[in-house]
Amino acid sequence: MNSTLKRITLFLGLLIFGCGGNETQKEEKGSVKLKKQNTEVKTPDKPNVLASATIDLKNKGVGPVKSLVLPAEIDQEMVTQGKDVFTKMCTACHREDKKFIGPPPTGITERRTPEWIMNMILDPEGMTRNDPLARALLIEFNGSPMANQGLTEEDARAVLEYFRTLK
């Protein structure tokens, strides 16, 4: 009788111990789920399209350039100047046609308005704060920000002209 009682107590003890173990596992699984949810909140509006590949030809962004109409003809002199500025000030982080620290500018004039591009070059901090697409870009690039290189508006415009030739 005494030994049967002992066995039952042992059995119950093991049962409780076992359940306890399971509960911890469940909790762990729960916290993994929570982490996943947080990541989902961070993704941009259209999770299937990367911010860098998003085409938005309406958004002018936020910054010093409110309106800019590009003439049909590309100005070759400006292109030369723009390429020079790009090589000196931008190639630390951008390669013409492949992803580097930042996205490649090839085809950018088919994805963004001239104003948005100019504002991104001239005031990336303001853009990241106030423009949803710029914010999504920052997230896509794991929080490494576009640098303000202190370009004059003229130099930024020349870089934009150079970007028009990258297709």
Report angle CA 88, 89, 92 to the nearest 5 degrees: 95
Give the integer Cα–Cα distance in Å for 72 and 118: 18
Give the integer Cα–Cα distance in Å for 45 and 21: 40
User: Binding mask 5-34 vs ligand HEC (x if CB under 6 A, - otherwise)?
Assistant: ------------------------------
Among 62, 65, 79, 121, binds ligand HEC (CB under 6 A): 121
| Binding of residue 122 to ligand HEC (CB under 6 A) | no
* Binding to ligand HEC in span 39-98, by CB under 6 A: 52, 89-90, 92-94
95 class by beta-carbon count within 10 Å (0-12 exposed, 13-18 middle, 19+ buried): middle
Stretch near ligand HEC under the rule CB under 6 A, chosen from 4-12, 27-35, 70-78, 117-125: 117-125
Residue numbers of the site for ligand HEC (CB under 6 A)? 52, 89-90, 92-94, 101-103, 108, 112, 117, 120-121, 128, 134, 137-138, 141, 144-147, 149, 151, 159
